[in-house]
Amino acid sequence: MAFDSAPARDLPLSDTALDQLFTGARTRNAWTDRPVSDDLLRKLYDLTKFGPTAVNATPARFVFLTSPEAKARLSPLMSEGNRAKTLQAPVNVIIGQDLAFADTLPVLFPHAPGAKDWFADPAAARETAFRNASLQGGYFLLAARALGLDVGPMSGFDADGVKAEFFAGTTVEPNFIVNLGYGSDENLFPRSPRLAFEEAAQIL
């Protein structure tokens, strides 16, 4: 009896792919002027959205800044060390979390009609939104690298200012910001050490 070969999803990625996603990938601090198309940004979101979140909440919200005018609104809100590279990057992405994510659960999690009520407590909603939007931000970085883009995630910014400038009057709060495009090796730091398995993990 013949057996079908294993589906591709059950096989490990090649070392080349793993290098692109992890071992050879670097956080970029400088950028080429190669543009990033709107179609590619849409493809990037369409990959990111499939990352798992609790009850399929998908609370992350993404604001892609590509025009000089939009980037000029963000740059004064960045810390001094992040300002120049933010202006240089082809795209800045504000990744936020929607504290009212539960409103979408009747559509996103339809097999549990009462799911929205699970997050009636604002503290529970905030914790869930932050944790899962952060997860989605991680998926976003990997999806970008998978599409051949470079990333530069940052947390040095005025969160209240970003909220007021880009999310005023909404239930969305900023989580972190990513510079996106095709990076150069300028201002690239040597790779920092990582903890060994024995220092960071255990098998029980």
Beta-bridged to residue 63, according to DSSP, are 94
- Helix residue spans in the chain (DSSP H): 15-18, 38-48, 68-74, 80-88, 105-108, 122-146, 159-166, 197-200
d(Cα 149, Cα 152) in Å, to the nearest integer?
10
The architecture CATH gives domain 27-184: 3-Layer(aba) Sandwich (3.40)
Task: Find out whether 96 and 61 touch, Cβ atoms under 8 Å.
Answer: yes
**Which pLDDT tens digit goes with each residue over 97-146?**
999 999 999 999 999 999 999 999 999 999 999 999 999 999 999 999 99
189 or 86: which carries more pLDDT confidence?
Answer: 86
d(Cα 204, Cα 160) in Å, to the nearest integer?
42
Residues 6 or more apart whose Cβ sits within 8 Å of residue 75: 83, 86, 87
Task: Find out whether 64 and 89 touch, Cβ atoms under 8 Å.
Answer: no
Q: What global pTM score does this model have?
A: 0.94
Average pLDDT, the chain: 95
- Which letter, b or e, does each residue of 189-204 get, where b requires 16 or more Cβ atoms within 10 Å of its Cβ? eeeeeeeeeeeeeeee
Asked whether the predicted pLDDT for residue 181 surpasses 90, the reply is: yes
Side-chain-facing half-sphere of 186: CA atoms under 13 Å: 10
d(Cα 72, Cα 87) in Å, to the nearest integer?
8
Q: Output the pLDDT for position 10.
A: 83
**Which pLDDT tens digit goes with each residue over 38-51?**
999 999 999 999 99
Q: Output the pLDDT for position 162.
A: 98
Nearest alpha-carbon partner for 64 in 83, 80, 84, 43? 43
Report the share of the chain in percent with pLDDT over 70: 96
**Which pLDDT tens digit goes with each residue over 53-73?**
999 999 999 999 999 999 999
138 vs 48, 106, 107, 170, CA distance in Å? 9, 25, 24, 23
